[in-house]
Amino acid sequence: MKPVLLTGASGNLGRHLAKTLAEKGWTLRLTDIAPFPDPLPAGATFVKADINDGVALLRQAEGCGAILHFGGVSVEKPFEEVFGPNLRGPYHVYEAARREGARVVFASSNHSIGFHERPTGNQAKLDYDCDFRPDGYYGLSKAYCELMGRMYWDKHGVENVNLRIGSCFPKPIDRRMLSTWLSYADLTRLVERCVVAERTGHAVIWACSDNPASYWGKDHRDRIGWAPQDSAEPYRGEVEHITADPVTERYQGGGFTAMEYSRQKPSPRDAFSLED
């Protein structure tokens, strides 16, 4: 298998993937703007670089068969802080993938659709082709990069898998994560299938474990042969706390939706409705 480039290698998810994918015998090229904090895994190299630097990224991607794009700002920040890493950075990733004929696996986020309300009762879950409803500049950048992947697929045939990651932590830490939690083990299995699948085209996958309370429905997981094996349900007794913020509790994006929220009434289920 060709080498695999992992951006954002020094972040929590990047460090986990570097370790677990190296254990599978993969040849990894790791990069991040921050130093790699752990012992370098066998078969891996690390280069400190900024994804705003297109030349550096192109050099790292030479000969790679896949780019795992986990780099960039990973939480809600002011627009100017998000702009470079999360809007310019993905362009450099896709240009490198186009040149090398590589597949992109993009760490997207549930925050690209965070202003959809949480389903209750018999309401339908969201499918992969739902409208983008980002809940902040971070979520907006994720929607932008998913659309970039669609454009590079339509225009250049660059295969890409967009992982709408819910909440990837060692275990759920609040009630919302009963719906959104993705275990570290399920993340590794998901990324592995994204890389080794024969074909992906342009795909979207709800990256969460097998949670009965999940907000999300149809996606393209069958295309890559992935099924989550873990579940948040065993932790239900530990995380029943509900926040006092009605905005946080109403929308799928949780606390991100409440940041700098200034509406007097909740936004409508239909984003184009005139009704509040």
The set of catalytic residues is 138
In the block, residue with structure tokens 């830490």: 173
Exposure string of 244-265, with b = 16+ CB inside 10 Å and e = fewer, is: eeebbbbbbbbbbbbeeeeeee
Which tokens in the block code for residue 201?
């085209």
CB distance 134 to 97 below 8 Å: no
Cα torsion angle, 100, 101, 107, 111, sign:
positive
Whole-angstrom Cα distance, residue 47 to residue 11? Answer: 14
- SS3 assignment, position 254: coil
Which tokens in the block code for residue 202?
């342009």
- SS3 assignment, position 94: helix
